[in-house]
Structure 1
Amino acid sequence: MRSHLSAKHAKEVPTEKDAAQPAITNFTSRPRRCDDSRAGGITALITNMIVKDMLPIRFVEGGGFFELMASVEPDYRVPGRTTMTKRIEKLYKDKAEDLRRSLSTVSKVSINTDG
């Protein structure tokens, strides 16, 4: 079939050079490294996940989490419990200060204990 197409329809049949497809590695190669800015963003997201989902801090030292992060971002170094504890404490202090600042501008507050 290819010989017929080449002989009878030479203009329509692409040459071997034209028919070359890009290699799959062109699409799977990592275009960027995990720089300090990206690593900081990932760490902040992990911190927020631990706080919002009320996960134990030791979550970051679990084998499954290490495997996940190695697959998603191989160049990222997962912080330990000590680092995460410090980040969570800083996040708490920052949020508490924001709340104090917000409450200092209001004259009345209503607190509701309904679920």
Structure 2
Amino acid sequence: MKLYEIDITQEENFSLLIIPDIGCSGCIYQAKQFLADHIDTPKIRFVVTSITSKKDIEFKFEQLKDRVDKVLFDYNNRFIDQKIVEFYPRIIQFSFGKEVFNEEILPGKEDTLNTFEELFLSKN
């Protein structure tokens, strides 16, 4: 099963952190920091969506432009159009294609990424 270009069925524990470029700035900052800290963590991919300017995104994420193995830049905003993510970043974890964790990173729920990290890292 593929979620756009991302094959989600091959891994026992496979996770996506979907980050809109426009939305809750504090929540997005937290998600971008998680991306920077975990870019080399196996079995996790990152999606940047809600892109209004390809040029701006390439500037903001210049250091990641060659990491197509880890970061998908959703220039067509399919993750937004399909309402997978809207204003807040979202973490989704799959186990052999089935969703087992799905949560938005909301203001006042700063522990979402920590909870995810504990769950995710304990399974790898």
TM range (shorter): under 0.3
Greater Rg, structure 1 or structure 2? 1
More strand by share: 2
TM-score (norm 2): 0.26
Higher helix share: 1
